[in-house]
Amino acid sequence: MRIESVFFEKIAKTVKAVGTLDLCIAVQEMLAAALDFDNYLVIAYRGEEPPVVLHRSSISKKVYAELDSHYVPSLYVLDPFYTAHRNQLQSGFYRFKDLAPDKFSTTSYFLKYYKKTTLIDELAYVAYAVDGWTYCICIGRDESSGKPFSKVSINRAKDIAPIVVSILESRWPRAPFEQPAKKDNIPSLVENLIAELQDKHHIQVTNRQAQVALHLLRGHSSRSIGIEMGVSWHTVRVFRKQLYSRCNINSQAELFSLLIPLDETGSIKP
């Protein structure tokens, strides 16, 4: 593999930018010298809190049109990159299609949000830093180019992962992370989901049924949920049937509408 000298020049510029507010742009320029992409996003996750968008850039306006109004306030909990953060996958390079559950393209999240971004392919670098933050740099192909990354580009992106991850794990500027101190005993997503159904819909579900609900919304099949929860897929089907019965629904789309109604601000979250 041959990487042009300009890439190494951009690495030097990026190293100089570590710890400053110019770092996100410097990393973008470095990656652009090695890879051809349509959009670029730097996002940070911590615990189950809404993520912090540090930088974004795209040719098409559709890609991030609803990022602030729908993804950040609520829909992030259904995203494969957020799940990677919660599962603390090893830092490094990932392709979105390899992280997405087996039924992702059939979910309401995909149909009502992700599909509208026009994203065709996404590559990401994931790294972990102090204070519990997970940094994720996503580069993608969308309607602008109209085609996924080539095999050569994917291999190149994978080869330079150690460089990108090292930079991500370096000292980031603190300004973007000035948020209220995290409170103790914050309810988990499953606990929030149970409370949401009880408080707003007067529906009582068990912890296991709530877990199944989250996995369904994220795009897992019954077999995939069984693997995630450590039970048989037959047991999952029982939980799913019980969940649907208690909620008086018949589909995952109805479950999505019940738990994550998308109002004008997208501010409702499970």
Question: Tell me, what's the pLDDT at 268?
Answer: 43
Residues 4, 37: Cα–Cα separation, whole Å: 17
Question: Tell me, what's the pLDDT at 186?
Answer: 53
- Classify residue 115 by burial, with Cβ atoms within 10 Å: 0-12, 13-18, 19+: exposed
All CATH 1.10.10.10 domain ranges of the chain, comma separated, are: 189-259
Residue 217 C-beta-side C-alpha neighbours within 13 Å: 30
Spans of the chain, pLDDT less than 50: 1, 175, 180-181, 183-184, 262-270
Residues 34, 152: Cα–Cα separation, whole Å: 11
**Token pair 């912890």: residue:** 207
Question: Tell me, what's the pLDDT at 3?
Answer: 63
Which helix (H) or strand (E) segment is 252 a member of?
helix 252-259
74: three-class secondary structure by DSSP: coil
Residues 228, 215: Cα–Cα separation, whole Å: 9
Q: How does pLDDT run across 127-136, given as a tens digit for each residue?
A: 998 778 899 9
Residues 44, 128: Cα–Cα separation, whole Å: 10
All CATH 3.30.450.80 domain ranges of the chain, comma separated, are: 5-176
Q: Give the CATH H-level superfamily of domain 5-176.
A: Transcription factor LuxR-like, autoinducer-binding domain (3.30.450.80)
84: three-class secondary structure by DSSP: helix
Angle in degrees, CA 64, 142, 259, rounded to 5: 50
Residues 142, 60: Cα–Cα separation, whole Å: 8
Q: Which two tokens stand for residue 167?
A: 């930079």
Write the DSSP string, 99-132: HS-TTGGGSHHHHHTGGGGT--EEEEEEEE-GGG
Question: Tell me, what's the pLDDT at 129?
Answer: 80
- The model's pTM: 0.84
Residues 75, 104: Cα–Cα separation, whole Å: 14
Question: Tell me, what's the pLDDT at 5?
Answer: 83
Q: Which two tokens stand for residue 224?
A: 């995939």
Q: How does pLDDT run across 177-227, given as a tens digit for each residue?
A: 555 445 445 568 888 889 888 888 999 999 999 999 999 999 999 999 999
CATH number of the domain located at residue range(s) 189-259 in this protein: 1.10.10.10
- Classify residue 183 by burial, with Cβ atoms within 10 Å: 0-12, 13-18, 19+: exposed
